[in-house]
Structure 1
């Protein structure tokens, strides 16, 4: 039948790459056998695992592929529970919830884990359990003195949670698939309006047109952010992340669509305009032309960081934020290794393996989706094989793997890891299921069938067959391939419906694709110490230790060696430096230092200040928040600073004061004032996660069972001229 095609395909690659019943990797093997009753047995470095027949099955030439699909369904059943628990909630006692738990080592429901898992297709497997889990992450407000609403919860996290971390809007990525239930749909629309309005008030920066907050999912800050954020997370809350902004873009798009369905044309138009503006800002601010990639995050003043993450890149592509050639180039330029694609790049040489030096299957699944979006057959095959190999060699859909070996543990002294690696991790289970349903059989989230299958996978999946089939309880999808495979990507030629069976006849096309970036340096250089800055007769003199790259007020000044002068005007600049490796990679930035002598005002509120010149001024507070560990909690203090200058319109700034190590500076905002104007500052109460009713169950720290807590010890109000117009 297809022997000629098979021989040609095998000639193009090694015999061991066929992956029918065995996968060989780094001197070890995993083997899959199948019994007549549909049971599978997987043997590998982990031992042996029996896998029962499942309600969905695939018929391909690869028992390995078919058996791992059954294993993912078996693990989804194991993750389907009637109660959850976490040591920080209800004193670790079981909480009734007919929902999905996060994994063998994480028997709870986390907003981002569940939402990404549902978006990766779990809504199709158990819609009611999916709704239940999502509903568990919604909450009203327990403080009657605050504005009421229905909000998505940001889980405990860096510096006391939201608004340091702001990716809770990922909830809508999952919820959008489950709107056929009217009660749930009504709650989705209410939570969408309330959550977006709250984020617009507290984390949207109108100067840059972006939403502030931590990268989505990459929430172990020392792994991905500068080392000095280990003791001060204000930078993270002030910065902007690609992934989190793309999630806000998708939430705004959903809000516009639902507003139209509710007959609210004015709201729909407002959301559409906000989404369009945000898309434009993301492309303007995060695209780094010299790399041909989207940066993972940038500083609060727009300073670019030479660091990248796969989830943010993939979401930018699948959401439509990245379009055309930019989307193709961004994915092609994102580095990869034989085992798979790292979730961050470049890696950190001083950090253990977890997000650093790691492959995460759920992120690989989004990268596979992105590869399908840009019709890149090599990348589709690469991510698919990475997901398969990891599950086969570990005997479970693990949380993560080490980048170079795809092992679940690598001994490397204090850098050993992955530090935590849970079996049957929910979003890894979802990744495998999505890789089969959409990645191979083309069953999209919209319900359409659009296979895009690399010809390189024909030997594994088809062997000498001319068709493969996905069987579900409701339908079956059969893919048929032509006798001649002249091209590198199989796509739909025709579709026929025979009762509940959909038969897709495919054709091979030659799809030009950019070569994968497989020769990137692994590590970024270590960042330099912070520079010093002083004013003399010539201007502002910046001095650094050796040859570094200087940035001032969000802009790259260039390479200096020792010292230079910047900003010879009156306003003091804020500067940081990076170090460049022999490969041209920049390190993360040093701490930022600013010139000049800020004005400090203490005493009671309100506080007054007279502007000496017309212009923009940066404003922040000195504070101490000792209500919890800098790693976790829900008591980041959030206030609103209300400002009235002369007869000008009132201005308002959100001020965030996360958990701190001693006294430090809060987040800052920028105001405008005219020379001679007396500005009056009032401090008003804001909102934090402890104000949500759900956190009455939080027993792992303050702001929980004992009541809401949104406070800090507040010191001086600091004002300095603002430089650099974003």
Structure 2
């Protein structure tokens, strides 16, 4: 059998190093030895690590593969705690919680880290700790006078947290696996209904059909967003992110399913309609045909950004948002390097290594799932090897690695990194466990067994044997090779049950080759400075620094060299510029600048404004919110602006005023008005994270132990004509 397997593997382009006992990488070597009784010893650049026997085990031809599976379980046990702590909560004192901590350097529970980890399979290993951790991230309201409900918490973050970041709905990605507990399931349905209603009210843009907010997980904005967002996060609050919208799509799908199960047919129909409309909007706005990829985020006016992220791409594929050729193209065109796949692309030459220029194993695990979805054996093998190599060479399931070296630290002065890199990071632990159970043995989230095993991995996993097995408490999965292998992907041919053991006979098939993209340039060019725009009798004159690409009101105008004119229209355009390098890679955008004069309505409330012409208008505020630093906190101010224009039905539009550095402009909303009528503007108090009972324990800033805080110093109301549609 060995010769048949070896020939098949070599035909599929297998690496010469079989990765059974040893992994060699850039002059370093890790060695795994199996010890009697299910124990292992791992030696490498880090020293020696003894790994004890675990409840689950794999039997393959590779002690390395088997031992790393044991190591992941050992690290999961280390992450299983009875108390957590964080300096920003309860003054850093221990908080009782029989749950998972996030890692050796992160001894707390964060919504996104925990939820992705559970979705990557931790619900199978410890459902109690999984539920407890998720429950820790639910909260009711502090103030009984406000609308009551049960809500998922957005962790502290950019500009004072939600709704600058809105990926808290990732909570439901983990919770959906744990609905066999009725009390927990009831809380999930209630939190789902309340959280989705709140996001629809404050974060949904009806023009775009998308939810606003930051990219999921990529929350260090200078790493992934334009440099000018370091001091102003309003653009992020106004923008739309692929990953966050896909998470909302999945939450809406779950809501439709649970509403139907509760006999709420009308609600189920409404949630399903919202989900399908959101899927359509994601594909309409994020797909970039010239790249054959989904953009990571776009501006609030629909401005395209030539930037991509692996988690968003993978989630789009695994959720079913991306289908058919688009799903295959999106993964095929996403670049990779010998060590693995970067979490963003292109990289930023002026930023240190963290999200930038980095591999994150949990994202690699989602990429592996996406590769299974589109039957891409090269990508399945590549992501699996990347996850294995990082764990073996480092002696732990680390938080992240530098992209080109897969090192846990590269010294490059101010660009050194990864800036933080924690051992036994929970979602990295989950990544290895999932790479084994689903990535190799095909155990899907709903319990089906659907192996999709690249032929290139057969020498490592099978060697001279004809079967490999995964043993879990109460269940064993055995994969058996066919007598001959002619093809590049092995899938199930037949399945039979022998007591608690499921035996899957494999067959080899040929799927279209999807070669890894290894020729992409590493960096994007630096963004140019903002242009200037002035109006004269010829139109709007835009002056830029050299050769740039001009965008106006979200649309690409074209290449210019120095200056150009945009025809005078009824609305003054807002413009930004980018640069394109010799590889055709486009920079991030400059800040946007707008032409023309806006109406500024005087201070004091209510405020009134006489409409000069019928149409659509952008409404924003000059404000200052000094209640926290720009990078964290829970006191982003959120207001509902109520607009009465004549006898028309009042329009209620959300305005977000994040933490600021001095005075700046808020997010804008779009209203419609008839010519000649007087519009009157009033406030309704909105909601922010400080309103949740959980944040009574927050001691890291305002809005915590001293009580909720949802306020800012408000200046002029700014009104400008606009088309308003992305």
Give the shorter-chain TM-score range.
Answer: over 0.9
Quick check: 2:547–2:579 contact (8 Å CA) kept in 1? yes
Counterpart-to-counterpart distance in 2, 1:374 and 1:15: 23
Counterpart-to-counterpart distance in 1, 2:112 and 2:379: 25
In the alignment, which residue of structure 1 is the partner of 2:261?
Answer: 261
- List gaps (5 residues or longer) in structure 1: none
In the alignment, which residue of structure 2 is the partner of 1:609?
Answer: 609
In the alignment, which residue of structure 1 is the partner of 2:438?
Answer: 438
Q: CA deviation at 1:570?
A: 2.4
Q: CA deviation at 1:374?
A: 0.3
Q: CA deviation at 1:723?
A: 3.4
Q: CA deviation at 1:36?
A: 1.6
Counterpart-to-counterpart distance in 2, 1:342 and 1:686: 38
In the alignment, which residue of structure 1 is the partner of 2:232?
Answer: 232
Counterpart-to-counterpart distance in 2, 1:443 and 1:570: 59
In the alignment, which residue of structure 2 is the partner of 1:328?
Answer: 328
SS in 1 for 2:562: strand
Distance 1:724 1:657, change over 3 A: closer
In the alignment, which residue of structure 2 is the partner of 1:100?
Answer: 100
Counterpart-to-counterpart distance in 1, 2:474 and 2:514: 39
In the alignment, which residue of structure 2 is the partner of 1:691?
Answer: 691
In the alignment, which residue of structure 2 is the partner of 1:36?
Answer: 36
Counterpart-to-counterpart distance in 2, 1:355 and 1:188: 31
Counterpart-to-counterpart distance in 2, 1:581 and 1:211: 32
Counterpart-to-counterpart distance in 2, 1:14 and 1:718: 62
In the alignment, which residue of structure 1 is the partner of 2:396?
Answer: 396
1:370-414 CA deviation, whole Å, 9 max, x = no partner? Answer: 000000000000000000000000000000000000000001111
SS in 2 for 1:342: coil
In the alignment, which residue of structure 2 is the partner of 1:195?
Answer: 195
In the alignment, which residue of structure 2 is the partner of 1:296?
Answer: 296
In the alignment, which residue of structure 1 is the partner of 2:676?
Answer: 676
In the alignment, which residue of structure 2 is the partner of 1:471?
Answer: 471
Q: CA deviation at 1:626?
A: 0.4
After the TM superposition, which residues 304-703 of structure 1 pair with which residues of structure 2 at under 5 Å, given as runs? 304-703=304-703
Quick check: 1:5–1:483 contact (8 Å CA) kept in 2? no
Q: CA deviation at 1:484?
A: 1.1
Quick check: 2:605–2:682 contact (8 Å CA) kept in 1? yes
Distance 1:213 1:11, change over 3 A: closer
SS in 1 for 2:188: helix
Counterpart-to-counterpart distance in 2, 1:8 and 1:433: 27
SS in 2 for 1:471: strand
Distance 1:671 1:567, change over 3 A: farther
Deviating more after overlay: 562-571 vs 351-360: 562-571
Counterpart-to-counterpart distance in 2, 1:13 and 1:323: 28
Quick check: 2:616–2:724 contact (8 Å CA) kept in 1? no
Q: CA deviation at 1:3?
A: 2.4
Distance 1:8 1:674, change over 3 A: closer
Quick check: 1:46–1:393 contact (8 Å CA) kept in 2? yes
Quick check: 1:698–1:704 contact (8 Å CA) kept in 2? yes
SS in 2 for 1:180: coil
1:243-274 CA deviation, whole Å, 9 max, x = no partner? Answer: 00000000000000000000000000000000
After the TM superposition, which residues 127-206 of structure 1 pair with which residues of structure 2 at under 5 Å, given as runs? 127-206=127-206
Quick check: 2:8–2:487 contact (8 Å CA) kept in 1? no
SS in 2 for 1:545: strand
Counterpart-to-counterpart distance in 2, 1:457 and 1:616: 59
Quick check: 1:554–1:724 contact (8 Å CA) kept in 2? no
1:485-537 CA deviation, whole Å, 9 max, x = no partner? Answer: 10000000000000011000000000103222110000000000100000011
1:80-138 CA deviation, whole Å, 9 max, x = no partner? Answer: 00000000000000000000000000000000000000000000000011000000000
Q: CA deviation at 1:4?
A: 3.3
Counterpart-to-counterpart distance in 2, 1:128 and 1:563: 63
Distance 1:36 1:136, change over 3 A: same
Quick check: 2:12–2:455 contact (8 Å CA) kept in 1? no
Quick check: 1:6–1:464 contact (8 Å CA) kept in 2? no
Distance 1:87 1:489, change over 3 A: same
Counterpart-to-counterpart distance in 2, 1:17 and 1:673: 69
Q: CA deviation at 1:13?
A: 5.1
Q: CA deviation at 1:14?
A: 6.9
Quick check: 1:238–1:299 contact (8 Å CA) kept in 2? yes
Quick check: 2:538–2:567 contact (8 Å CA) kept in 1? no
Quick check: 2:12–2:488 contact (8 Å CA) kept in 1? no
Quick check: 2:550–2:576 contact (8 Å CA) kept in 1? yes
RMSD: 0.9
4+ aligned runs moved over 4 Å, structure 1: 10-16
Counterpart-to-counterpart distance in 1, 2:171 and 2:51: 32
SS in 1 for 2:413: coil
Counterpart-to-counterpart distance in 1, 2:354 and 2:546: 32
SS in 2 for 1:631: coil
Counterpart-to-counterpart distance in 1, 2:463 and 2:296: 41
1:163-191 CA deviation, whole Å, 9 max, x = no partner? Answer: 00000000000000000000000000000
Count matched residues: 726
Quick check: 2:670–2:724 contact (8 Å CA) kept in 1? no
Q: CA deviation at 1:473?
A: 1.3
Distance 1:8 1:248, change over 3 A: closer
